[in-house]
Amino acid sequence: MITFGSTQSFVSIVHIFMLILLCFMAKSEASNSKVSAVYVFGDSTVDPGNNNYVNTPFKSDFPPYGRDFPNQSPTGRFTNGKLGIDFIASYLGLKELVPPYLDPNLSDEEVMTGVSFASAGSGFDPLTPTLTNVVPISKQLEYFKQYKNRLENKLGKQETENHINKAIFIISAGTNDFVVNYFMVPIRRRSYNVAAYGHFLLKHVKVFMQNLLTEGARKIGFVGLPPLGCLPIMITLNSNNAFLERSCVDKYSAVARDHNMVLQHELFLMQLNSTKISYIDIYGPLVNMIQGHANLGFDEVDRGCCGSGLIEATFMCNRNSHVCSDPSKYVFWDSIHPTEKVYHNLFVANRHLIDALING
């Protein structure tokens, strides 16, 4: 038994504690050093500000977006603070914030550890990005190829290949395809029922994934759809009295459940011996936060923090909008996008899958 009878004993205990702490940190760093960078593709859930540099009305580079960033700086993220990809990058020990690829001021050092190519409003259906003039998924892949050329000029071809092989890729898109393109705009509904449209999207998913694998991706996290019927804008547009009777519209959430099930199966079939593909579930954790909100510190689950919370998003959520006093009490920041707290909770819920990619 160790006692604190002398200064020497106390110092020894401090040394032992520091040694244990250093060993733990070394183990953590050794694990995370398996990942060279994080690369991101998709929509507003993972766009840290690419749309700032795109001629589109679908932007968020103005207050109150970014309210909980230092100096309340609007970065182009469609939330009050960080996105899930920022928590992932920090966990991997790469950087605190994932930058947008289209930022012309990015240094080689910043680019080296990863960027996001995502564009808010985009989707897998080629029609989806044309509705708001944003960057298509296919163009995001072209940007990645440009990025690889930049990396090769700095590292050489073989080292670049090794760097890409050790990187983690995150893909998050599909919500705009269903919510905006299919349910709000009737063009696709004239040609497809909802199940057929889902299969149409999956064909585009498979083409994108095959192209990404061809470019060297080996560790991929693919984010599924959220409960679509629980998005405040979907509740507003599909309720008899959206001001008084607000609850998830299950027929839309059922579409997400069915699509996610088929998506998981398709992703499983794409895995090769040299690849690790993880399906990242946000549907279940979001439903848990909504249904168990009282135990998780949430007061509002069916409307956003910005404006009325019923329909505002992007330019409708602006510096003139009323903003709730505490976004951490809200599941949604605007009528579509989660708050920073929710993004953090989603990261925690899927951290084991990130660990699987690290060690995959």
Pick the catalytic residue: 116, 334, 335, 344?
A: 334
Element (H, E) at 218: none
Report in angstroms the alpha-carbon separations of 241 from 106, 135, 252.
48, 36, 18
Phi, psi of 59 (to 5 degrees): -125, 165
Q: Which residue has the tokens 């009295």?
A: 241
Q: Give the Cα separation of 70 and 82 in Å (integer).
A: 11
> 44 an active-site residue?
yes
3-state DSSP call for residue 289?
A: helix
Neighbours of 49 (CB within 10 A): 25
Phi, psi of 11 (to 5 degrees): -60, -40
Cis before 136? omega within 30: no
3-state DSSP call for residue 278?
A: strand
> 334 an active-site residue?
yes
Pick the catalytic residue: 163, 204, 259, 337?
A: 337
Residues with Cβ within 8 Å of residue 212, at least 6 apart in sequence: 41, 141, 144, 169, 171, 220
Pick the catalytic residue: 44, 119, 278, 335?
A: 44
3-state DSSP call for residue 201?
A: helix
Helices (H), the chain: 7-32, 84-91, 108-112, 128-132, 137-155, 157-165, 175-176, 194-214, 232-237, 250-270, 283-291, 340-349, 351-358
Q: DSSP string of 247-272?
A: ---HHHHHHHHHHHHHHHHHHHHH--
Sheet holding 168-172, edge to edge: 114-116, 38-42, 168-172, 219-223, 276-280
Q: Which residue has the tokens 């994932």?
A: 98
Q: What is the DSSP letter of 179?
A: I
> Which residues sit opposite 352 in a β-bridge?
none
Residues known to be catalytic: 44, 334, 337
